[in-house]
C-alpha cells in the first residue's frame, strides 16, 4: 500500500484524553473483555482489514488489541458521516493506517475502499458488505 493513511488531520490525536479511553473501557465491558482475550493471541504475520465505524467507544480498543497481538491492521470508514476524526487520528498515531474522515465525498469513499481492499488482508471485518463486494470485483477485474 503506497499511502499510509488518509484522514482529516493527524494532529487531532492530541484531543484524545487517556481518561476518556479508560472510561469507554469501563462502560463497554463486553468489548473490553474480548479485546483482552484478543490481545493475548498470536496474530503475528496476519493482515486484517476493518471496514466499519471509526469511534472512540469500540474501535480503538479492538484495533489496538489486534495490533498488540501482532496483527497488521488497516481501517476504513464504512460511512461518510460516522467517523470520529479524533479517533481516526489517534489510531494513526498508534501506527494503524486509517482511511476515512467525517464528511468525505463519495469519490473519496470509493478511493479509500480500494486502498483498504488493496491491503490483501488475510481477514476481512466488514460492517456493510462493501469490502467483500470490492474484493470480488477486484478479483474479477484482474
Identify whether 5 is part of a domain: no
Answer whether residue 37 is part of any domain: yes
Instruction: Give the residue numbers spanning the domain of 75.
Output: 10-141
CA gap 86, 8 in Å, rounded:
9
pLDDT at 133: 86
Of the chain, the percentage scoring pLDDT greater than 90 comes to: 81
Is residue 4 a part of any domain in this protein? no
Partners of 52 in beta bridges? 77
Q: Tell me what the mean pLDDT of segment 91-109 comes to.
A: 97
Assess if residue 1 is contained within a domain: no
The pLDDT, as a whole number, for residue 17 is: 92
Query: Residue 51 above 60 pLDDT?
Result: yes
Cβ(78)–Cβ(118) under 8 Å? Answer: no
When divided into structural domains, the chain yields a total of 1
| pLDDT classification of 1: cutoffs 50, 70, 90 | low
pTM recorded for the entire structure: 0.91
Helix boundaries (H) for 45-129:
59-68, 85-93, 106-117
User: Per the domain annotation, does 102 fall within a domain?
Assistant: yes
For the beta carbon of residue 57, count every other beta carbon within 10 angstroms. Answer: 16
> Is there a domain that residue 115 lies in?
yes
Amino acid at each position: 500500500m503506497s499511502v499510509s493513511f488518509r484522514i482529516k488531520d493527524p494532529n487531532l490525536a492530541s484531543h484524545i484524553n487517556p481518561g476518556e479511553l479508560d472510561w469507554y473501557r469501563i462502560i463497554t465491558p463486553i468489548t473490553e473483555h474480548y479485546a483482552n482475550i484478543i490481545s493475548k493471541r498470536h496474530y503475528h504475520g496476519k493482515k486484517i482489514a476493518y471496514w466499519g465505524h471509526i469511534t472512540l467507544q469500540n474501535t480503538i480498543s479492538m484495533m489496538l488489541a489486534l495490533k498488540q497481538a501482532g496483527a497488521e491492521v488497516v481501517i476504513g470508514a464504512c460511512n461518510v458521516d460516522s467517523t470520529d476524526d479524533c479517533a481516526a487520528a489517534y489510531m494513526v498515531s498508534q501506527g494503524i493506517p486509517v482511511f476515512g474522515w467525517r464528511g468525505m465525498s463519495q469519490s473519496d469513499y470509493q478511493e479509500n475502499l480500494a486502498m483498504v481492499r488493496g491491503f490483501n488482508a488475510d481477514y476481512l471485518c466488514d460492517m456493510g458488505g462493501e469490502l467483500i463486494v470490492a474484493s470480488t470485483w477486484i478479483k474479477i477485474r484482474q
